Amino acid sequence: MEQQKKKKRAVAFGLVAVVLIFWNLMQNTADQQKLKVACIGDELTFGTAVEEREDNCYPVQLQKYMEQAKKKYRIGNFGVEGAAVQKKSKKPYTKEERYESSTEYKANLVVMMLGTNDTTEENWTDIDTFQRDYQSLIKGYQDLKSSPEIWLVTPPMIQSDGSTEMEERAKRVEEIKNVIETIGEKNKLTVLDLYSYSQKHPEWYQEDGVRLNKDGALAVADMVGDCIINKTK
């Protein structure tokens, strides 16, 4: 009798194991079928100081957007605090581990939102240098074997407090916005104009007038999400 019970338990455990293995295979297959989006950027992408960042940074809110729309997308956050485009800046994005991770992600779509930190005095060289290094960054993704589509997002405008430093940064970010649009046109890439979109929304910013808050992150997620949905209809 005891032997039969042991056999039944062994069979039951075996069935559970088979079910679990099958379930994991199904989940892995489902994940592989999802289109991957790599969100490239600085702290605006990472979500620095955003309330409950793990739930409210823009890539996570974009993931929620796609799930609500019942679209099979997997969103990756490759934002790096303090990162800039220019190679001679204090923290070039291409020197960061997350840049390497983003190139190994095998993304179908790369959404690039950089340029805000390039406007600081310690990072800024000139607009020609920014343009050259931004084009080089794009080429790095264009040359990937996964051949991802690349979208450019202009950085949001800087809400100047009237100080000389912030006025200079506000002027530089406008220059950067214009250059990104030029690069996008030259490379025939989609450009999302967050700069213009953010101009009338001071409520999207944190106190420093540079970083986005939860509402600003949601606005970016909605902008990118709307574009994905419209382009896949």
Summarize pLDDT for 58-67 with one digit per residue, the tens: 999 999 999 9
Query: Is residue 7 exposed (0-12), middle (13-18) or buried (19+ Cβ within 10 Å)?
Result: exposed
Q: For residue 148, give every residue at least 6 positions away whose Cβ sits within 8 Å of its Cβ, in sequence order, or none.
A: 38, 107, 108, 109, 110, 141
CA distance 114 to 124: 13
Query: Of 8-12, 28-32, 149-153, 208-212, which range is least confident?
Result: 28-32
Residue-wise pLDDT for 140-157, tens only, equals: 999 999 999 999 999 999
Please check whether residue 106 is in contact with residue 146, taking contact to mean a CB–CB distance below 8 angstroms: yes
Residue-wise pLDDT for 160-188, tens only, equals: 999 999 999 999 999 999 999 999 999 99
CA distance 147 to 226: 22
pTM reported for the whole predicted model = 0.85
Beta-strand (E) ranges in 47-177?
73-79, 109-113, 149-153
> Diameter of the chain by CA atoms?
88
* Confidence at residue 2, expressed as pLDDT on a 0 to 100 scale: 60
